[in-house]
Chains A and B, each alone.
Chain A
Amino acid sequence: MTVHPIVAALRRHKAAVLLIVLQIALTLAIVANAIFIIGQRIERMDRPTGADENGLIWILQGWPAAPAGDDAATIEQLDALQRTDLATLRSLPDVQDVAASTSIPLLSGYTTGDITLNADQKGLSVHAAYYYCDQHLRPTLGLQLIAGRDFDASEIRHGRAHADSPVIIVSKPVADALFPNGDALGQTVYQDDGKPSSIVGIVERLQTPRRSESTWAFNSVLEPFRDDESWSGYVVRARPGRVQAAMREVRQALFAVNPMRLMPGPLGGIHAFTEMRARAYRSDRGMALLMSVICVILLSVTAAGIVGLTSFWVGQRTRQIGVRRALGARRIDIRRYFQIENLLIAGGGVVAGALFAFGLNEWLMTHYEMTRLPLRYVGIGVLAMLALGQAAVLVPARRASNVPPVVATRSV
């Protein structure tokens, strides 16, 4: 079958053809970008923090009755409170390990700084989030130590002003950014106050507490420092399968030791890490869900539109179809006709749609936080639109092929 008669016929319905082409183009543009957004969000939600997340519990609490002030006595008192809590937690039957830490991945409360190679802090500098913690944090989180060692108990200092530590453990991205040759272990780097710190360990992966997107999402530094504030954070690893039991024990035990505690929400209190992850990615999940709903509606509306318009054309051409059938065209020829016609229309639509898709992406990039749309999303969208068109045209095309030749002899 040649394409020529189909094109000639389409010329007689310019407006309708243009409309359906436009509809397919817009659908493709929106669906390609929406699926791209969905893909990005799912990728973000699925990325591991680097910790062994199942079985982790985060505790953030405050002592409102604790003494205020910056003097040494106050700081010692606060440290004693914190050590008591840590010992209490360690003694619980369902608790496997405990660490003091000012933060945890995805918490959203965090401290950051810049790490440099020189004391004057010029030149190469790497932005990173700091976890002020004791020697138990690395094993409690279950981080993979790929070089060096853990902190020694004797290296853990405590106090209030976060003077930079003489020894630090860094995540691999930090090590690689500072020392591209892979010889970070044992090297000396400088943090914000210009004092030297020696890298004693490197962990494979540790996400920062920051939730929103950043280029330094996995740049983390462990600082061996117990922070003595009127609040404290603890990371607990429950025994396998005992998270809920451990959370109950933790609450009871902490309040038994000292009832004057604050566990304010939503960041404070006792939380299973799995719950924190769900909360941290709630809006990403929501966005993915919304985009999916919009895609489904869009594709349904466009498919239904194709069915509707093709049905109309079939109805309009019943007589001509009858004539063709009477002149010897087979059913399959009639069906092919409508299928090829649809392919031509959809083909025009996807070409325009691909351009629209990149245009829309460009616009989103200049106005909102969006990255460049990869070609494969548009490719998938093009194939999906063509398939959708073929599927939608199937019913009216079959109806057309069922028009009996005798129609040609009847008057309207």
Chain B
Amino acid sequence: MFGYYLELAVRSLRRSPGLTALMILSIGFGVAASMTTYSVFRGLSGDPIPWKSSRLFMPQIDSWGPGDRFHDEPPDALDYADAMALMRQHRATRQSAIYPIGPSLMPTNTGRNRGPVELDGYAVYSEFFPMLDVPFHYGNGWSVDDDVSQLPVAVISDKLNQQVFGGGNSVGKTIDIDNHDYRIVGVMRDWNLQPRFFDIEGGYYSVDGPDVFLSFRHSVAINMINAGWDGCRKGASDPQGDFVGLQNSDCVWIAYMAELDDVAAVQRYRQYLDDYASEQQKAGRFRWAPNNRLRDVPAFLDHEHIVPSDTKVSLLVAQGLLIVCLVNTVGLLLAKFLRRSGEIAVRRALGASRKAIYAQFLTEAGVIGVGGGVLGLLFTIMGVFSVDQVLPASYAVLARIDPSLLLLTLLLAVTATLVAGVYPTYRASRVQPAWQLKAS
């Protein structure tokens, strides 16, 4: 029967090519607008580390007090004193204080680079690498002992390895960064989690991954300045270039990540943070009750409003467009189906059941849906390829076409059109055969 309905549908659609084209175009545009904006949204709102994000937490400690809270929230990052206390007390399974650095790769006589090159990097503790499952080509992260002894060790990216050494196993070689020799302990595989959730800025998007990781304690010891943002209390003066001053201030500039393996551990850590803040209160450093947060990665990114509001508004408006296109299709299908009241009456009079009418007309809606879906696919592909015309490069690269997006496009088109077809089909099935036949 389905084959027969299909044939009927195609024949009917051919009879009014204008109306058919209009419906297919309408579905195609609506679906494509939704899916193109969705591809951007999906790219930007994705979980950077889905297999582990619920076990990674960013503690926030209120080191500023009620007068400087924003919406009663503690600052997004830690100051030096709190970060160091948490590292010393070492209560999580793994943990690392993190700050962004922008040192320079210095030219060498044998190297390929003629002038200095700025590197995008982070100062971290040894546990950072196993905690974030950083993949290595060669070698590994450094050891806890290297942290303690503040050794000049470096983990470099595959790209930097290519650039300086032409690739290959460079573990054990030295690299000149800011006129210091660093021993390479590990070469990473291509590693660029998006958004960069371990950054002080609360995550941002970047086309390339970080070039280099150095030891936190070593970096602080040699005065390698914080290359990222720092936030200071209102009225407090910002030490800016004065790195030692920054360490002694209550300005926040350190991202902190802790791995906690189960609910009980999270509970304990939460209690620990409150105890820590109470202790600070007793010691007189904080003059307010503890006000801490312990969010996992998805919650933290949500808190940071990491997805730009433009992206969300675009998605919303595009969905509105889809709804209008569907309403339009409902109207057109209704007109189209009811115009054939005579035909329906004849079929009913000849014994077709209501169910058969349903099947016939929903098949017709489905055919339009498939047509709209194919067109939607085409437009979506065009749309995703042209997002770099309207978005910054670091966002545009995250909008990708993959099988799941294409499948979803097709599915959305067919489902939406079938839903749009329900009411017109219902009306068609209610056509009274006797009435119609008499009228004609």
Knowing A34-B317, A287-B314, A301-B328, the reply to whether A262 touches B117 (Cβ < 8 A) is: yes
**Selected contact of A283 from candidates B240, B334, B392, CB within 8 Å:** B392
Q: Which of B19, B179, B237 contacts A192 (CB 8 A)?
A: B237
Find chain B residues with CB under 8 A from A287 CB.
310, 313-314, 390
**Chain A residues with CB below 8 A from B104, complex form:** 62, 64, 262
- Tell whether A268 pairs with B312 under 8 Å between CB atoms, given A23-B331, A65-B179: no
A121 on the B face (CB < 8 A): yes
**Bound complex: CA of A412 vs CA of B242, how far in Å?**
92
Partner of A368, one of B240, B313, B330, B334: B313
A114 vs B238: C-alpha distance when bound (angstroms)? 12
User: Complex formed: what's the CA distance from A259 to B389 in Å?
Assistant: 36
- Residue B178, interface by CB 8 Å: yes
Within 8 A of A (CB), among B329-364: 330-332, 334-336, 339
Classify the secondary structure of A's interface with B: helix
Choose among B241, B335, B392 the residue that contacts A229 (Cβ–Cβ < 8 A): B241
A5 within 8 A of B: no
B233 shortest CB reach to chain A, Å: 11
What is the 8 Å Cβ interface bit string for chain A, positions 272-293, against chain B (1 contact, 0 not)?
A: 0000000000110111011101
Q: In whole angstroms, how far apart are the Cα atoms of A191 and B241 in the complex?
A: 18
Q: Does A26 contact B (CB under 8 A)?
A: yes
A22 to chain B, nearest CB (A): 5
B324 lies within 8 A of chain A by Cβ: yes
Distance between Cα atoms of A183 and B332 in the complex (Å): 68
How many positions in chain A have a CB within 8 Å of any CB in the partner chain? Answer: 65
A315: Cβ under 8 A from any B Cβ:
yes
B235, A70: Cβ atoms under 8 Å?
A: no
For residue A175, CB closer than 8 A to chain B, the reply is: no
Known contacts A65-B106, A287-B310, A290-B314; decide if A308 and B118 are in contact (CB<8 Å).
Answer: no
Q: Is A366 at the interface (CB under 8 A from chain B)?
A: no
Of chain A, the residue at the smallest CB distance from B387 is A286
In the bound complex, residues from chain B placing their C-beta under 8 Å from that of A260 are: 115-116
Q: Is A33 an interface residue (CB 8 A)?
A: yes
Q: Name the segment of A13-21, A82-90, A239-247, A329-337 touching the other chain.
A: A13-21
Distance A370 CA – B310 CA, assembled complex (angstroms):
10
On chain B, the residues within 8 Å of A309 by CB distance are 331-332, 335
Q: Does A30 contact B (CB under 8 A)?
A: yes
Given contacts A68-B223, A111-B240, A287-B310, contact A19 B321 (CB under 8 A): no
Q: Mark A64-75, 1 if CB is under 8 A from B, else 0.
A: 110011100000
A146 at the interface (CB under 8 A from B): no
In the bound complex, residues from chain B placing their C-beta under 8 Å from that of A282 are 391-392
A373 to nearest B CB, angstroms? 13
Smallest Cβ-Cβ distance to A265: which chain B residue: B118
**Cβ distance A269 to chain B, nearest Cβ, rounded Å:** 10
Which residues from A are CB-within-8-Å of B389? 286, 289
Q: Contacts A259-B115, A262-B118 known; A312 to B335 CB distance under 8 Å?
A: yes
Number of interface residues of B (CB under 8 A): 61
Say whether B327 contacts A22, CB under 8 Å: yes
| B417 interfacial by beta-carbon distance below 8 Å | no
Instruction: For chain A, residues 167 to 194, give those with C-beta under 8 angstroms from any C-beta of chain B.
Output: 192-193
Report the bound CA distance from A230 to B106 in whole Å.
Answer: 15
In the complex, the answer to whether B335 meets A16 with C-beta atoms within 8 Å is yes
A27 to B309, CA, bound (A): 22
Kindly report which residue of chain B lies nearest to residue A412, judged by CB atoms: B440
Q: Complex: how many Å from CA A370 to CA B312?
A: 12
Cα A301 to Cα B328 in complex, Å, equals: 7
Q: Would you give the 0/1 interface string for B21-33, flagging 1 where the beta carbon is closer than 8 Å to chain A?
A: 0100110011001
Known: A26-B320, A294-B318. A114 touches B331 (CB 8 A): no
B244 on interface, CB distance cutoff 8 Å: yes
Max chain B Cβ within 10 angstroms of own Cβ: one of A27, A193, A293, A301: A301
The answer to whether A30 and B320 touch across the interface, beta carbons within 8 angstroms, is yes
Encoded as 1 (CB less than 8 Å from any A CB) or 0, chain B from 205 to 246 comes to: 000000000000000000100000000001111111110110
Q: A160 on the interface (CB 8 Å rule)?
A: yes
Q: Which of the residues A285, A297, A304 comes within 8 Å of B321, measured between beta carbons? A: A297
> In the docked arrangement, what's the CA distance between A113 and B30, Å?
47
Q: Is B325 an interface residue (CB 8 A)?
A: yes
Closest to B310 in A: A287
With A20-B331, A22-B327, A30-B324 given, is the CB distance from A304 to B26 under 8 Å?
A: yes
Please report the C-alpha to C-alpha distance between residue A80 and residue B234 in the assembled complex, in whole angstroms. 34
- A32–B234 CA distance with the chains assembled, in angstroms: 39
Is B323 among interface residues, defined by CB-CB distance under 8 A? Answer: yes
Report B75 CB to chain A, min CB distance, Å: 16
Q: Taking A301-B29, A316-B339 as contacts, is the C-beta distance between A23 and B328 under 8 angstroms?
A: yes
B189 within 8 Å of A (CB atoms)? no
Contacts of A27 in B (CB 8 A): 324
CA distance A69 to B224 in the complex (A): 10
B423 in the interface, Cβ–Cβ < 8 Å? Answer: yes
Q: Which residues of B contact A23 (CB under 8 A)?
A: 324, 327-328, 331
- Expressed in whole angstroms, the Cα–Cα distance for A122 and B97 within the complex equals 35
Whether a CB of chain B sits under 8 angstroms from the CB of A261 is yes
In the complex, what residues of A have CB within 8 A of residue B242's CB?
A: 70, 160-161
Q: How far is the CA of A364 from the CA of B19 in the complex (A)?
A: 35
Q: A16-B335, A364-B313 are in contact. Are A192 and B236 (CB under 8 A)?
A: yes
Binding site for B on A (CB under 8 A): 15-16, 19-20, 22-23, 26-27, 29-30, 33-34, 37, 62, 64-65, 68-70, 111, 113-114, 121, 160-162, 192-193, 227, 229, 259-262, 264, 268, 282-283, 285-287, 289-291, 293-294, 297-298, 301-302, 304-305, 308-309, 312-313, 315-316, 360, 364, 367-370, 412
14 A-B residue pairs with Cβ-Cβ distance under 8 Å, sorted by A, are: A23-B331, A26-B323, A192-B235, A260-B116, A262-B116, A264-B102, A283-B310, A286-B391, A301-B321, A304-B22, A308-B332, A312-B336, A369-B309, A370-B313
Interface residues in chain B, defined as those with a beta carbon under 8 Å from any beta carbon in chain A: 18-19, 22, 25-26, 29-30, 33, 37, 102-104, 106, 115-118, 178-179, 223, 234-242, 244-245, 308-310, 312-314, 316-318, 320-321, 323-325, 327-328, 330-332, 334-336, 339, 389-392, 423, 427, 440
Closest 10 interchain pairs by CB?
A286-B390, A64-B104, A264-B118, A312-B335, A19-B331, A305-B328, A64-B116, A368-B309, A192-B237, A30-B320
Q: A290-B314, A368-B313 are in contact. List 8 more A-B contacts (CB 8 A).
A: A27-B324, A160-B242, A264-B102, A286-B390, A289-B389, A289-B390, A294-B317, A316-B339
